[in-house]
Amino acid sequence: MRRITLRNRFFRSMFIFGSILSVIFFAYFYFNVRRIFLNQLIETGKLHTIFIVNTFGPKLDEGLRGVGELKKIRSLLYHAGEKHFERIVVYNMNGKIVVDTDDGMLPEEFSPEEIRGVKYLTRFHKNTLLILQPYISSNGEHRYTFLFFIPLEYVGMWNRRFFLSLLLWFIGLIFFVIIASEWNASMVTSPVSELSRQIEEFKKGERDEIKVSTGTEIDDFARFLSGVLTELNFSLKELERLNRAKSDFIAVVSHELKTPLTAAKGYIEFILSGKAGKITKKIKSNLEVVERNLSRLEDRILNILKFSRGEVVGELRFEPVSLNILVEEVLIDNRRRIEEKGLKLRKVLEKGLPFVYVNREKIREVIENILDNAIKFTDNGYIEVRTYQENGEIVLSVTDSGRGIPEEKLEAVFDRFTRFDKTRSGMGLGLAIVKEVMDAHGGVVQVKSRLGEGTTVVLKFKAGLEDNHGEDTGNR
């Protein structure tokens, strides 16, 4: 979709507003001038009709005494109205025509009652103005009614000329509106465009401050914005520095922990090999648990190093895995921690679940992180672990009766280094790792929690082979 600039929007608004005002003014001016002209025409015609009626009205009685006299009056009426009237008709009180300067057809615009009446009336008939003017004698008697025909051809010609002149004026006004709109758009939007350009240069590091000189409030806004962006830029650089320092610290600590851990793991392997002497089955079983936990701890340290370098998932190799067996292994390794805290473990694992096609070690790490959080943040009550199939998905849920998470902080549970309880150990990476690993597998992770009531973490995998990951990044 094409982007509309502020300048174009302002220009369009100004142009539309100016055009509407111009059209309204054009229509108002045209129709009002036309109305005034027609009224003036009627008033002028009235003056002429009054003059003719008062001049020829008294002569009609004398003219009716003889045909010659009547023809003479008709001729005089014709010549008297030649310059202004197309036709003059005179009616007596019976509605009979006594004089007609033209023998053509008469329009039926006036009723017999109106012709015999004493009112001054005007009507329009096609291109003719009709004026009905009564003659009242000196003794107050209504003797005759004159009907005058005023042609309007020249009025139409004047009307067309006036309209064309007004139209040319209107076109000129539209051009003026366009120029004025462009000028106003430029005056208003140029400082904004300059401000936008300087902001882009500031973002690229090509300028240290934003400064616009317009003599308006935009200057104050530019100074305020420059201060805010400068502080923000400083804060971002400081955050980058702190983030690098944290990553460096994690890398150093992880490296320092890895050395003694590798040594301890080597001694365990040496004892298990029997080279240090014979050991009982019980001791061997316990040492094997220690060895597995040392291996996982070593993997955790390696993951922290990868996390600090942005390489959490890495290369993945997928294989069919029983989710129930994986859960059982994690529960066995953490059973002693659960018992030491006096927590009740509820285990509800649905039998006969299909395999999930995942990276075994990564998903085990995910389950360990979730169970570790449940144990860590639950002081009393229970932990429930369930597996089941729903809507074609294999689901694992871990529910605890611990402290819970405030509702307003649930959106941040998957952020790196996020810790809601500063009194408990941890680096705030557990759920962040869970999220990234599940995303790499094409799975879903959900967290539901209420403060003081506990937390539920749900993992969803697609059932079946090779459908449970986004992209296979390793060998199978």
302 found inside a domain = no
Q: Rounded CA gap, 155 and 142, in Å?
A: 33
Residue 413 falls inside a structural domain: yes
Q: What strands, in cross-sheet order, belong to the sheet with 97-100?
A: 97-100, 87-92, 142-151, 128-136, 121-125
Q: Provide the residue range defining the domain that includes 441.
A: 315-462
The half-sphere exposure of 350 on its side-chain side, counting CA atoms within 13 A, is 14
Is 411 part of a structural domain of the chain? yes
Residue 31 lies in a domain: yes
pLDDT of residue 386: 94
Q: Show the tokens assigned to 457.
A: 């973490």
Would you tell me the crossing angle of helices 323-340 and 360-376 to the nearest 10 degrees? 30
Separation CA 169–CA 171 (nearest Å): 5
- pLDDT of res. 158: 64
Give the orientation angle of helix 153-203 with respect to helix 6-63, to 10 degrees: 170
For residue 278, CA distances in Å to 77, 150, 334 come to 153, 139, 28
Q: What does the pLDDT profile of the chain (476 residues) look like in tens digits?
A: 445 565 666 667 777 777 787 778 777 777 777 777 777 777 877 888 888 888 887 777 665 555 445 566 667 766 765 667 778 888 888 888 888 888 777 887 788 888 888 888 888 887 788 888 898 888 888 888 988 888 876 666 666 777 777 777 778 777 777 777 777 766 666 777 777 777 777 777 767 777 767 666 667 777 777 777 778 777 888 888 877 777 777 767 666 777 777 777 787 887 887 777 788 888 878 887 787 777 767 766 776 666 666 655 566 788 999 999 999 999 998 888 898 889 999 999 999 999 999 999 889 989 998 998 899 889 899 999 999 999 889 999 999 998 888 887 777 777 766 655 555 445 556 788 888 888 888 899 999 988 888 999 999 998 765 545 444 333 33
**H-helix or E-strand spanning residue 90:** strand 87-92
Residue 385's SS3 state is: strand
**Residue 79 lies inside a defined structural domain of this protein:** yes
Q: Is residue 330 part of a domain?
A: yes
Residue 398 has a pLDDT of 95
Residue 389 forms part of a structural domain? yes
What's the confidence (pLDDT) of residue 348?
Answer: 93
Look at the chain and report how many structural domains it folds into. 2
CB 93, CB 142: distance < 8 Å: yes
Q: Out of 131, 160, 189, pick the residue that ends a domain.
A: 160
| Amino acid present at 205 | G
The pLDDT of residue 298 = 75
Angle between helices 430-440 and 281-308 (to 10 degrees): 80
Output the pLDDT for position 473: 35
Identify the pLDDT of residue 476. 30
Beta pairing partners, 87: 149
Q: What is the pLDDT of residue 67?
A: 46
Domain boundary among 160, 182, 210: 160
For residue 245, is it within any domain?
A: no
The CATH number given to whatever domain includes residue 111 is 3.30.450.20
Would strands 142-151 and 344-349 be described as parallel, antiparallel, or unpaired?
unpaired
What CATH number should be reported for the domain holding residue 401? 3.30.565.10
Domain boundary among 127, 160, 193: 160
